[in-house]
Structure 1
């Protein structure tokens, strides 16, 4: 909770800081990477830096956290903090790095806002920063301890046991620890980070959802992303990694996890967003769950639909499982009402269900709106988005 004096100052200056955050965050990253080029090379996603999405996500999270502090001083935005903390833990972010960020972020704030940053204003926003940073540090510490990596280093070498082509753009990798030890426990819906060394020596990291685990192995899927430089890791995995190769992989993390309740569950995905849903379905089927499970997926066409067979296989094993698929360009004789974009309004959805969403941001927004319109509790609608979360604070 902010001190009363700081809360008053933050409330008064939030419009100015929020209005300038689009200038502050690019300058911050420029300063950070000039002082610590290894962070851009080996920690931050270079593709997201190049297209600006990481900067937008940082700006949104800072503004959302500050707004929450002044508008709801007795309620900490734990959902937002958990999402950021899980991503940080998957990257191996340490407490010491928050001081590095503080140095360059506040230098950028002062440079952009100039004389408006009085000692009183600086002290108030310093309080905001450390409230957020210390909350994240505490959550990340707990996550590291749960992963058996108290020092923040959860990385292990895994050997690729098998590689399977799912579609022309998607490959699934099954990996097992190279040290012969057991695979880590994970919750359906979680992801792992994969770090690869690229041709220029950079060791870039990306997150990939787990689609299940079997016989001492973890399975994750990678969609090849064409373009420069956003798909540099996915292209490397597709073109360079084969059975027997070694990969550096983190412990599983991710705040979007299948709950253990017995009430109905609705899984809604589009494109490669099917991967965490397949992981959830695999778990439900393996446990012989009697929950009502409604799996909904949208894709470009049948040939682009990764894990299409698994979707039918897992829902078919469930006592109360059903699947609904929409294709924009159907290659078979599909009914007109299942052609085009996913339409949740066409389904009879239980209002007491827990829902999980994954796909492009416009799809997530449309799907959430339809679920709320159908009567689901907004608090029971959870989403996973690949890349920087531009929905934070929305």
Structure 2
């Protein structure tokens, strides 16, 4: 891009701040009207609840704000690249998206969308598309380079279905072709795709891998969305209600940049809320199975014991490994737990653990819904933990990252 084009893009920042969601809403509506086959690629639940429109609006705004130095967005671009690879996004998709995005800018801005402005945004988009495609091609190459690796969608068989709590069930997934599965980094996820007759569409969803790598199977642990018949709950509920042992599902290869840094020997503090514990379980199991001497603190919040998944396995780990300790928060503490050490009433409050449990030199891994993450980030900052030591994963469109 030349300096004049950059100035034109920068000049649209105030408009994007005020009308960005209107633009992205128009864009998605236009794209799905002209290319309905892409409904099989996008999460239509996040379309219905508006999360995807908001996430894209924030991403477009961030790109426009940093058009002079897009390198500051490297972390966000990497996270998006992993998500695209997990959805089998290819370069040809960028051409379709670009065509509809530029057209949408013209249609939404009207007379303000001069030919020079549209050309500037087309150039900016192409540079971003080239950057993303290059990043993603490297991830695809890495995926197939390892034993058991693949790209695209691969059939897996549900060999075990285990109820972990009143809300969460684990699915043990083995390759239908009998081959090995690629290893993964603790904390990564897989995309799972099912056909939904209700929508007459294939729909993908991302689920964290909840066990340590083993090269034989993948385990995902899925929360049932009670009473949800909307697209954002249909896949999870179909897994619970209709997918049985012996059934087939399709998976993309593991992806995600929220991963345990195994090169470090610092203490580790895992902080999770609800089903947000799933990627942290993979990290915890990996550390224990590899005989790590790192000090480990497990902090988890749940509504009550009935919905608290993996309660017993984590308790056994802490009982048999002196370097692992746990702290559990329940919305309402049951009488038999009121006197048990390491149990607390209320939401996860790290201030209550401001003793030997929370160490400033530790690495913190936080996972849960956006409000949960915001609170933990604020509390950790108040406790003097540096931002560089905090790693977080937000389920759904990455609005916090954007």
Fold shared, TM-score > 0.5 on shorter chain: yes
Is residue 287 from structure 1 mapped to residue 285 from structure 2 by the alignment? no
1:386: which partner in 2? Answer: 395
Greater mean alpha carbon deviation, residues 47-56 or residues 5-14:
5-14
2:126: which partner in 1? Answer: 130
2:67: which partner in 1? Answer: 69
SS at match of 1:302: coil
CA distance in 1, matches of 2:99, 2:380: 43
CA distance in 2, matches of 1:180, 1:20: 51
CA distance in 1, matches of 2:183, 2:119: 43
Q: After TM superposition, give the deviation of residue 309 of structure 1 in Å.
A: 1.6
Does the Cα contact within 8 Å between 2:161 and 2:172 map onto a contact in 1? yes
Does the Cα contact within 8 Å between 1:69 and 1:76 map onto a contact in 2? no
Q: After TM superposition, give the deviation of residue 250 of structure 1 in Å.
A: 1.1
2:374: which partner in 1? Answer: 365
Is residue 333 from structure 1 mapped to residue 339 from structure 2 by the alignment? no
SS at match of 2:231: coil
1:109: which partner in 2? Answer: 105
Q: After TM superposition, give the deviation of residue 312 of structure 1 in Å.
A: 2.0
SS at match of 2:137: helix
Q: After TM superposition, give the deviation of residue 318 of structure 1 in Å.
A: 3.9
Does the Cα contact within 8 Å between 2:143 and 2:151 map onto a contact in 1? no
Q: After TM superposition, give the deviation of residue 152 of structure 1 in Å.
A: 8.6
1:93-242 pair list within 5 angstroms: 93-148=89-144, 153-200=151-198, 201-212=200-211, 213-214=213-214, 216-226=216-226, 227=228, 228-242=230-244
Q: After TM superposition, give the deviation of residue 334 of structure 1 in Å.
A: 3.8
Greater mean alpha carbon deviation, residues 197-206 or residues 336-345:
336-345
Q: After TM superposition, give the deviation of residue 54 of structure 1 in Å.
A: 0.8
CA distance in 1, matches of 2:338, 2:131: 50
Q: After TM superposition, give the deviation of residue 23 of structure 1 in Å.
A: 1.1
1:16: which partner in 2? Answer: 15
Greater mean alpha carbon deviation, residues 61-70 or residues 322-331:
61-70
Does the Cα contact within 8 Å between 1:45 and 1:204 map onto a contact in 2? yes
CA distance in 1, matches of 2:101, 2:67: 19
Q: After TM superposition, give the deviation of residue 335 of structure 1 in Å.
A: 4.3
CA distance in 2, matches of 1:193, 1:287: 26
Q: After TM superposition, give the deviation of residue 265 of structure 1 in Å.
A: 1.4
Q: Using a 3 Å threshold, how does the CA distance of structure 1 residues 134 and 94 change in structure 2: closer, same or farther?
A: same
Deviations 1:36-90 (A, max 9, x none): 11211x11111111111111111111111222234xx273411101111111110
CA distance in 2, matches of 1:330, 1:199: 42
Greater mean alpha carbon deviation, residues 208-217 or residues 303-312:
208-217
Q: Using a 3 Å threshold, how does the CA distance of structure 1 residues 35 and 247 change in structure 2: closer, same or farther?
A: same
Q: Using a 3 Å threshold, how does the CA distance of structure 1 residues 358 and 369 change in structure 2: closer, same or farther?
A: same
1:374: which partner in 2? Answer: 383
Paired residues in the alignment total 389
Q: Using a 3 Å threshold, how does the CA distance of structure 1 residues 252 and 234 change in structure 2: closer, same or farther?
A: same
Deviations 1:228-263 (A, max 9, x none): 232110111111111111111111101100001111
Deviations 1:310-334 (A, max 9, x none): 2223344444211111000223434
Q: Using a 3 Å threshold, how does the CA distance of structure 1 residues 142 and 318 change in structure 2: closer, same or farther?
A: farther
CA distance in 1, matches of 2:100, 2:136: 22
Structure 2, unmatched stretches of 5+, are none
Q: Using a 3 Å threshold, how does the CA distance of structure 1 residues 275 and 350 change in structure 2: closer, same or farther?
A: same
1:218-367 pair list within 5 angstroms: 218-226=218-226, 227=228, 228-260=230-262, 261-335=264-338, 338-347=344-353, 348=355, 349-367=358-376
Greater mean alpha carbon deviation, residues 13-22 or residues 283-292:
13-22
Deviations 1:86-109 (A, max 9, x none): 111100000110110011111111
Does the Cα contact within 8 Å between 1:289 and 1:319 map onto a contact in 2? no
Greater mean alpha carbon deviation, residues 323-332 or residues 7-16:
7-16
| One of 26, 41, 47 as aligned partner of 2:45 | 47
CA distance in 2, matches of 1:246, 1:13: 47
